A and B are shown apart, each in its own frame.
Chain A
Amino acid sequence: MLLFNTGSDLNIRGSFSMRMQVYLDNAATSYPKPEEVYEAVVSFMREIGVSSGRGAYRKALEADRIIYEARRSLAELFNVKDTKQIVFTSNATEALNLAIKGILSEGEHVITSQMEHNAVCRPLKRLEKERGIEISQLSCLSDGSLEDLDLLGAVIRPNTRLVVITHASNVSGTIMPIGEIGKICNENAVPLLVDAAQTAGVLPIDVEAMNVDLLAFTGHKGLLGPQGTGGLYIREGIQLEPLKEGGTGSESILETQPDILPDKYEAGTLNAAGLAGLGAAVRFILLQGVENIRKREMELTAHLLDKLRENDAIRIYGPDDSEKQVGVVSINIGDHQPEEIGYVLDEVYGIMVRTGLHCAPCAHRTIGTVERGTLRISLGYFNTEAEIDYTVQALRQIAQRGVH
């Protein structure tokens, strides 16, 4: 928070220099980032600035080393034994597309949930049309949780090739029981793809203990890195068709894509400056400890939920329990359109939130908000209780006076 104006009333409007800013859209992109991240990006661009994996000169090796260290830090964070099994993509969406389109063939069956993001739903829908795949959705309750985990075993068929499920919903924040799902998938020898867009860097993830075969993550949310970074962990032995072919800087004599990871899936020059920042961000997270980050976000989430609950005009969606959700809270106020409230929050109070359908129509259908959408408050590691109090106070004023 840049400035805390205790007289936070409508008269703030117009006095730009006195305007405070509260950023509560961390589920879209986390902001701000740790200082180390800015430094790593700038120093890479200024002092190194060359392609990785492409040259025999010292600077190219330095670029290579920085990218390797980002990969190694991620491997440590997710307990990945072989660093090569992590491939970089530009975000979780690309990672999910690579995994889904790379593994599913004609006529195969996939199981997913009713809380998925469009980054999962849309690739599946395309394959349904183009490859005739069959999609089963595990039904979810209105708080976003799975109705009956035991159903998963029953839904698995001989031609089930993949289970794809979000680790935590970007709409309601609901955390899915990945460890238990992974156990069932493992017993049935069906690979599990986890969409960790909302959880990487925020919840502990152990691909071995949780039996995760494919882990799609993005760098710009909980991992505190720059936009345009992300990746996919691929368990050894799982073969995916690459999404793209091209130069890898290795085995250049081959006319076909090399078969060895990570090069197989990393055609084209990598976003080295972004990855330098991501590496610094993940090292920051490892130093803080994911458990500590989770603890802090739970404190903030509990504080927000407590304050919101005090106002009867505010409807809270999702589990309404900081133990069962990440720092993502969807609400609505009275009969107001969330877009209008979002506009007033920004314009009058300098509070940035997301409104609408959050790219996940099926999740909105599940929690009953597909018509109106929600106003989503998403917390980050650097938010404060004071910012939350100020936001809830603003919501209270809006609930009393309306948006006009």
Chain B
Amino acid sequence: MFLEEIEMMFMEPCVANKGVRMFARMSKDISGLMPYLNTAIKNATYNKDGNTLCFTKEFRLITLYPEKVAMAKALNPTDAWQVLDWIKDTINETYENRDSIQPSHERRVGVTALDFFEWLPRLNCGKCGEPTCLAFAVRLLLGERGIEECEPLLTTEYNKLRKVAFDLVSALGYELPESYNSSVLERSR
């Protein structure tokens, strides 16, 4: 195993519904792997000079340093531990597959809510509980809503839109429920 351990060094219990902040130390320096992780983690922003990689996992904000992980907005301690496990697995998998990954040194421009908005039905129907499609797009970007919550998008009328929206969402590393995944493929066949 490339990275044996990520050891939690500090966890600040959340005080006012803002989530848990923590940092942890890694048992190995991952500087050399950063460009590969930059490719593997679709929504990452790589800072070559600072040697950091920032990304979100849903609503959680994560920064990887050469030998450190910082995380904010984790739901609770259990959530923080679970995401640390995921980070460790992602690092180890990226290391395993590094021969087939094209390393990237570029600093990606972040996606905005407007990019999501482009691919929504834009009916402002309110079925998702948001006042407008743009509001929905903003919360989608923050990881607070799931693309499957847009009901019209799931109808046959929006087959084409749905495929693009689906690809965009998954390309950015947001999780999609498995059932949605298969049902989308079913419907678009």
Which chain A residues have a beta carbon within 8 Å of chain B's beta carbons?
A: 52-54, 56, 58, 61, 64-65, 68, 71-72, 82-84, 249-254, 258, 260-263
Contacts and interface: CB of A to CB of B under 8 A. Distances in A.
B123 interface: no
Given A250-B76, A260-B76, A56 B14 contact: no
A270 to B, nearest CB: 11
SS of B interface (majority): mixed
A253 B78 contact: no
B143 to A, nearest CB: 15
A252 B13 contact: yes
A68 B78 contact: yes
A65 B81 contact: yes
Contacts of A261: 78
Contact of A64 (B9, B75, B81): B81
Q: Which of A72, A249, A251 has the most CB of B within 10 A?
A: A251
B76 A72 contact: no
B134 interface: no
Q: Which of B8, B75, B77, B82 has the most CB of A within 10 A?
A: B77
A249 B20 CA distance: 11
B: interface residue count bin: 10 to 19
Contact of B78 (A83, A251, A252): A83
A110 B8 CA distance: 44
A58 B77 CA distance: 14
Nearest to A53: B77
Interface in B5-46: 8-17, 20
B170 to A, nearest CB: 18
A253 B15 contact: yes
Contacts of A56: 10-13
A147 B82 CA distance: 43
Nearest to A264: B76
B79 interface: yes
Contact of B14 (A82, A84, A250): A250
A253 B17 CA distance: 8
B4 interface: no
Contacts of B76: 84, 250-251, 258, 260, 262-263
17 contacts: A53-B13, A53-B77, A58-B9, A61-B8, A61-B9, A64-B77, A65-B81, A71-B78, A72-B82, A84-B79, A84-B82, A249-B13, A250-B13, A250-B77, A251-B76, A260-B79, A261-B78
B96 interface: no
Given A250-B13, A250-B20, 16 more contacts: A56-B10, A56-B11, A56-B12, A56-B13, A61-B9, A61-B10, A64-B11, A65-B81, A72-B81, A84-B79, A250-B77, A251-B14, A251-B15, A251-B17, A253-B15, A262-B78
A72 B79 contact: no
B60 to A, nearest CB: 13
Given A64-B81, A65-B81, A254 B17 contact: yes
A253 B16 contact: yes
